[in-house]
Amino acid sequence: MSNFSLSQIVKFSTRQSSTIVLVSKPTNIECCTAIPELANSDQLGVSLSVLDSRSKRGKNIKRKIWHYSAADFDRANEIIDTIKWEHELNSEDVNASVLAWQTLFLQTMELKRRSPWIS
């Protein structure tokens, strides 16, 4: 069963042998109990309480969509060439330097030519 990522849930006897109930995510099973025989069967029934495992949808996030065909890469390269990177990236903290680089780069790329290239 472990080869197929399945787990046996019923841990009690429902007659001479246990009833086999296999699930792929045993952590989603809250409770497994026996219920009285069904119809004329000599076997107990099994009741499972399954947790709601649906993923919760997060908040909507605003994103920018870059229209590369409308970008002015020549102007962006000119601006990037004028940035004094040794001054901007002088922090001993790598995370601070990456954040500074990202901020300068995005500010440069947000410059627009005649038609906007960000929506």
From CA 93, how far away is CA 35, in angstroms rounded? Answer: 62
With beta carbons less than 8 A apart as the criterion, state whether 88 and 101 touch.
Answer: yes
From CA 84, how far away is CA 94, in angstroms rounded? Answer: 17
pTM over the 0.75 mark:
no
Position 117 scores a pLDDT of: 55
pLDDT tens string 52-108: 767 677 788 887 777 777 777 888 888 888 888 888 888 788 888 889 888 888 888
Position 14 scores a pLDDT of: 65
Distances from the Cα of 50 to the Cα of 5, 9, 14, 31, 42, angstroms: 18, 12, 20, 7, 26
Orientation of helix 94-109 relative to helix 73-82, angle to 10°: 140
SS percent in the chain: helix, strand, coil, step 5: 35, 20, 50
pLDDT tens string 15-43: 655 677 888 888 888 888 888 777 777 77
Reduced to 3 states, what is the DSSP secondary structure of residue 58?
A: coil
